[in-house]
Structure 1
């Protein structure tokens, strides 16, 4: 009897050890925060096994609609998860974070040699800058709205996603760009944290795409105090309930 019980327990625990990982698609801006959330959940639930794929929201959405086998989709907008739910490609969806847009120019200083951390940085900007592809990335769409309100014909470099914009600016290849606050919560040099009311809000939704048990548990975990603390500590606001 003892031998049978031991064998049964071994099979039980091995089923977790070799369980198919939860496959998670995440918009580029949220990748780092998602990694922190997954690690925290794994500390609470050691059998949690996952695999993360990151790209722009539009690219991931296209992959999902063409049959990519993801269990969860962390979008940078609310539109795509709602479309997946309407098309019966998602089981549930909900808001998990509100993104904050930042115009960042790390090397810029004013006439007094001081960094600028207010709207004048953007209002007076006349050099080339970058933002993410507005057709694929909600942060890019928000940045484009600001660009359309600004007079002038300053050259714009369109990147694949906000992570690529950050790379362009941080390496000095481009002097400035619109990035997500979550990518670097403590910005060096000059920057402007764009008020939410100046563009369509970047309200980010997650879609539960499968009935995988661990995916469901992780989806529920996002509403926990632990999860919401990690989200806010990494440059996001919480959605209004």
Structure 2
């Protein structure tokens, strides 16, 4: 009997080993959404990213930050992107005219300010004071590609000091580089968004720029027509307009449109 049981056990073991093992079904990888966004949105979008991915575990948000003009050029040249979040209407309109973006909406607004190092004793009541001999260097974003630089140029032109300041101007690739120049004391003052100024303890706002002397500072967003994940991109686009996202944007100093 023992021999019979041993034989049966051996036969059963061999039979089980002969059964092909089914490979485990691989978990579906999250959908990666690539968002090209103005660098001034970084702090708020970094926070939104954490919340959105927690609520949508099937989505992985990847952000490509830079100046809106540089991002516009990248998209025009075929760089991959699912959604564009600009700090200027000019850049969004260019992509719409090129047929690269369809529906879009202005979600946020911002303000332009003049900042100085936090330990500076300089005071300003007008941008015309930037022409004073005591002011050696003033940082602005490249007006052609950086919306904040465009608004700064419009402001200085309106006050008739743009040409006078040419020898003092230090151009930056984006608004955060302007902020860095001021933080490190490499310039005496710089034009940034109010939201940028609020992120740093190394600068202080010396002057709030009147909105009447430059184009409206708006932040439109739109889904790229050639997105390979149009449905998911549209869902995130909708979320950016939600109350929850709005709370985060307001926390960082933006105004909802």
TM over 0.5: yes
TM-score, normalised relative to structure 1: 0.83
Q: Which protein shows a greater Rg?
A: 2
Retained in 2: the 8 A contact 1:72–1:206?
Answer: yes
Alignment partner of 1:108 out of 120, 134, 137 = 120
Match of residue 196 from structure 1: 211
Retained in 1: the 8 A contact 2:197–2:204?
Answer: no
Retained in 2: the 8 A contact 1:82–1:93?
Answer: no
Matches within 5 A, 1:151-162: 151=161, 153-154=164-165, 155-162=168-175
Write the distance in 1 (CA, Å) between the matches of 2:47 and 2:89.
22
Write the distance in 2 (CA, Å) between the matches of 1:181 and 1:54.
18
Shift of 1:195: 2.5
Retained in 1: the 8 A contact 2:108–2:219?
Answer: yes
Alignment partner of 2:125 out of 116, 120, 123 = 120
Match of residue 184 from structure 1: 197
Match of residue 223 from structure 1: 241
Retained in 1: the 8 A contact 2:31–2:58?
Answer: no
Match of residue 164 from structure 1: 177
Write the distance in 2 (CA, Å) between the matches of 1:164 and 1:202.
19
Is the counterpart of residue 74 in structure 1 residue 74 in structure 2? Answer: no
Shift of 1:96: 1.5
Which ranges in structure 2 are unaligned for 5 or more consecutive residues?
Answer: 1-21
TM-score, normalised relative to structure 2: 0.78
- The number of residues matched between the two structures is 221
Retained in 1: the 8 A contact 2:112–2:194?
Answer: yes
Retained in 2: the 8 A contact 1:99–1:237?
Answer: yes
Match of residue 55 from structure 2: 44
Retained in 1: the 8 A contact 2:240–2:246?
Answer: yes
Write the distance in 1 (CA, Å) between the matches of 2:31 and 2:205.
45
Match of residue 145 from structure 1: 154
Alignment partner of 1:57 out of 64, 68, 86 = 68
Retained in 2: the 8 A contact 1:108–1:190?
Answer: no
Cα pair distance change 1:201/1:41, threshold 3 Å: same
